[in-house]
Each structure stands twice: as structure tokens, then as C-alpha cells.
Amino acid sequence: MSFSPFSAVGVGANSSAGGRFSFNNWPIGATDGSDVFTGVINLNKYYELTITPMEVNSLILPEFPLPCNVREPV
């Protein structure tokens, strides 16, 4: 199995924080610790990763959790 580099599409060209995968220019979702989201999804801004199984194997991903921290822009 091989993994492509993890990339951010439609946001800043470089990580906005040292030592972590953090990018600017995301639209505001929920604010102030709320779980109520406003606005619409921008389908032109996303994180991307390609997982390629070996030819003789198959890959089943019933669940693929990605731990993340979401913070309001500073």
C-alpha cells in the first residue's frame, strides 16, 4: 500500500504553523466553541490524500477517522 503526500487544496500554499499541518483561508464554520455551523461548504477547499493498495490486494475502509483540532482563525 502506498500513500500520497497529504495536501491542502484551495487554501494557503504553506502551513501557517511550524511542525503541523495548518493552513489559512478556510471559511468560518462554527465559532466560540459552538457546534452550530453556518454558511455553505466550499467544495474548492479541502485536504487530499490518495491511498493506493497493491495490485493483488483490496482495501476496505469502513471507517477512516482523522484526528484534528479545529480552531477559530486568529
Whether residue 31 lies inside any domain: the answer is: yes
Give the residue-averaged pLDDT of 16-43: 78
Q: What is the pTM of this model?
A: 0.55
Q: Is residue 33 pLDDT above 50, yes or no? A: yes
Q: Which domain holds residue 22?
A: 1-58
Whether residue 38 lies inside any domain: the answer is: yes
Q: Is residue 21 pLDDT above 70, yes or no? A: yes
Whether residue 29 lies inside any domain: the answer is: yes
**Tens of pLDDT along 40-50?**
788 898 888 88
For 42, half-sphere exposure in the C-beta direction (CA atoms, 13 angstrom radius) is: 13
Q: How many Å apart are CA 31 and CA 46, to the nearest integer?
A: 19
Whether residue 63 lies inside any domain: the answer is: no
Number of domains in the chain: 1
- Closest C-alpha among 62, 64, 71 to residue 49: 64
Q: Is residue 38 pLDDT above 80, yes or no? A: no
C-alpha cell at 6: 497529504
Whether residue 44 lies inside any domain: the answer is: yes
Whether residue 69 lies inside any domain: the answer is: no
3 state SS of 27: coil
Looking up cell 484551495, which residue turns up? 10
